[in-house]
Every structure is written in structure tokens, then in C-alpha cells.
Amino acid sequence: MGRVIGGEVIEDARRRGRVVLEVLPGDIVTSLARETALRLGILLADGPIEKPAPVKTDGPTAARRVLYKRSARWVAPGKGPHHRGRRFTKIACVGAGGVGSNVAHLVATAHLADEIMLIDIAPGLAAATAMDLNHTAGITGVGTRCNGGEDLSLVAGADVVVVTAGQARRPGMTRADLINVNGRVIGQAAEAIRTQAPDAVVIVVTNPLDEMTVKMLRATGFPHGRVLGMAGTLDSGRFRTALAAAAGVTPADVQAITLGSHGDEMVPITSRARIRGRPLDVWLPQDQIDACVKEAVIGGGQVVALKKRGSATIAPAHAAVELLDYMRGARQGPVPVSVMLNGEYGIRDVVLGMPANLGMSGLLSVEEMRLTPAETKALHAAAAAVRTRLEI
């Protein structure tokens, strides 16, 4: 039996701050109600309107969640106090595909550098993207200069080189399957960086990430603090997104990181993760925590499977810019980044994602964080897997 929706129902909806009113099959809407809706700007939408599925949890978890969601003491930390941070002189992006061009776009829009240089072997791609970015300046009013070309020597004088060049995996492949083909790309980029930008900090994004960071380090001969790998910020972002969705909170309410390798041996750190300042098991039953861990690990592969050709571009670009923000002091505190280890966590001579403090000159220190024995064991397993793949 339908309802009669009259003018007073619309007025009541308006008082309660509603902008949409669902009209179900069988409901009768009076002409006065229609006029009132028009006048008050309320949309009469044919229902039933699809609603997000409620987050399923067991009884005690649901009770605790309600309790802590309402806790008056919780204040989302956000991004902390606003720091302006320093500006780079020149950021070079080796690779002007999806990730490289998105990095350049974010850097240009936020004016993180005086100059961006895009480099790509695809004829015209880097120059075209640079020109396109320069055209945005007339809209944004931001004065970053963008240039582009095909020659790797254009990295000359960069204070940061972001390397995204190389092949993306296709559905069914692991990142490690790219080790040989992308290893050659890294070799060429490293040679140009070593000779043309000898003081640069290098941020490797090319996969397989940890292995390519080792190759870049060896081929440039740079001090280990000047060769960083971007993966931890991306994997941590995916982990936080999954946890926020499962707990029904905003991602800003979630603090969580992942360490280890950027592959199957990724180590989302559940013991240190917090939702609104509380441990995960206050909010989520173990099977949902496990599902969030899995989402972080397989997130990149899911994008690859959907795209069929190519991999994620937007989140990786944001994750690379997050590292730039930590380097320039706009964000402070430890951030997960792949670095060569020298005995930290009992691991040495291999690159792995670790919490670290960064500055304009790259790595300042690796943060030793208290982990559970299982998490430490998983980090050692990740180190062993990267070593095996590099045959070291």
C-alpha cells in the first residue's frame, strides 16, 4: 500500500535537511507536493534508491564501533600543522606515461618546483605533455615551467629525478615478471642520471620496485640515501582506504602503513594501525582486517586486471608526490619508502619498504618501529624474496 505524499511531507523533509525524497512504486504524490518540492529545491526521485550495503560485523565489534565512533575525545590528525615546505629547482620525470605525466601535473599545479622536465622515448610525447601542462598555467596562474624531450641528458641539473619509465605488467603477470625488461631501462636512466645529474635524489617508481631500486643504486653508484623507491606510500594509501571503507569512517581517521616489498611479500602493519586512535580489533573482526590486508596487497593487480593494458597511474603519482612533500618538509615524520638497509630490523644489503625520515638530500634515517615477531619475520621473508629475485 503506497503513501500519500503531500506538501507537508516535503516541508518536513526540507526541515530535516533532505535534498532528495524517494518515491516508491504505489506512492501518490499530490500536485501541491510537486509544486512545494520544486519551490524548495527537493528532488522527487523514483525509488527504490540503491543504498550502500551496511558494513557487516559481529555484535561485539558493532557495539565497540558505535562507542568509539561517538567518542568525544577523537580528533582526526589530518595532515598535521601546515608547513609550506621548500620548493625544488628542477624535477625531472623519466617516463611521461600515465604515472610520469600525473606526477608532473601534480607538481606543476602545486608549484613544487620551478621547472619540470619530462623525458620519454616515445616521439613527441614528453614535449606535448609539457606543452599541455604549460597551457594550464593560464588557468591556474601557477608559474612552473614545463619542458619535455626524448633525450635522457635532459635530466641535467635536476635536484630530483622521478623514474617511472618501463613496461607495465599485463593481467596475469606479477611485477617481478618485468625484472629483465625494466632492468635495462633502469640501466640507461641510471647512466644519464650519474653523468648529468650527479647530485640528484632519485625516486624509482618502475617495477619491480625494490629490485629496480637496487639496480638504480648500483648503476649510479650514488650514496644509498639518494636512491629511494616509491611503493610504501601507495600501498599504505590502499590499506587505509580499505580499512576506512570496512569501518565506515573517513580515510583521514585511519593511520596505517605497509612495509616490506611492493609485491606479494608486502607487509601491512596491523599491530600499529589505528582507526580514530584505537587498535583495529576495536573496530573490525579479524576476517575483515585480513580482507583489508589482502586489498592492500592485490590493489595494484586489480587495476591491471580491469584496465587490461597498463596499470594504475593516479594513486601512484599521488604517492610519489607524497614523498616529495616529506622531502621538502611540507609533511613531517616518518614515511614508508624503499631504501637500502644497513642492519636496520636485522636486514642488510637489500632494498625494502621501511619507515624513514626524509629531507631535501634524501634519506635522513630509518625509523626503528616496534613490530610484532610475526611482522618482523614477514619483513625478513620479503628481504629473502627480493634477494632471490636479484640472485644476491
Of the two residues 42 and 209, which places its CB atom closer to ligand LMR in the complex? 209
Residue 187 β-bridge partners? none
Of the two residues 130 and 209, which places its CB atom closer to ligand LMR in the complex? 209
Q: 137, 107 in Cβ contact below 8 A?
A: no
Pairing of strands 278-279, 274-275: antiparallel
Where in 196-255 is the site for ligand LMR (CB under 6 A)? Answer: 207, 234
State the nearest-atom distance from the C-beta of 213 to ligand LMR, in Å.
13
Type of residue numbered 332: Q
State the nearest-atom distance from the C-beta of 301 to ligand LMR, in Å.
6
Q: Is 105 in the site for ligand LMR (CB under 6 A)?
A: no
Active site residues: 262
- Cβ burial of 150 (10 Å; 0-12, 13-18, 19+) is middle
Of the two residues 42 and 354, which places its CB atom closer to ligand LMR in the complex? 354
Size of the site for ligand LMR (CB under 6 A): 13
Of the two residues 253 and 295, which places its CB atom closer to ligand LMR in the complex? 295
Of the two residues 129 and 236, which places its CB atom closer to ligand LMR in the complex? 236
Question: b/e map of 349-387 (b: 16 or more CB within 10 Å)?
Answer: ebbbbbbbebeeebbeebeeeebeeebeebbbebbebbb
Q: How far apart are CA 367 and CA 226, in angstroms?
A: 17
Of the two residues 230 and 363, which places its CB atom closer to ligand LMR in the complex? 230
Q: Is 169 in the site for ligand LMR (CB under 6 A)?
A: yes
State the nearest-atom distance from the C-beta of 207 to ligand LMR, in Å.
5
Pairing of strands 348-359, 335-342: antiparallel
* Grid coordinates of 126: 614528453
Q: Is 260 in the site for ligand LMR (CB under 6 A)?
A: no
* Shortest-Cβ-distance residue relative to ligand LMR: 300
State the nearest-atom distance from the C-beta of 24 to ligand LMR, in Å.
42
Letters for 297-336 (x = contact with ligand LMR by CB under 6 A, - = none) are ---xx-xx------xx---x--------------------
Q: How far apart are CA 369 and CA 363, in angstroms?
A: 16
Q: How far apart are CA 193 and CA 221, in angstroms?
A: 10
In Å, how far are 69, 78, 183, 256, 330 from 281, measured between CA atoms? 14, 22, 41, 13, 32
Applying CB under 6 A, which of residues 65, 90, 105, 175 lies at the interface with ligand LMR?
175
Return residues touching ligand LMR (CB under 6 A). 168-169, 175, 207, 234, 262, 300-301, 303-304, 311-312, 316
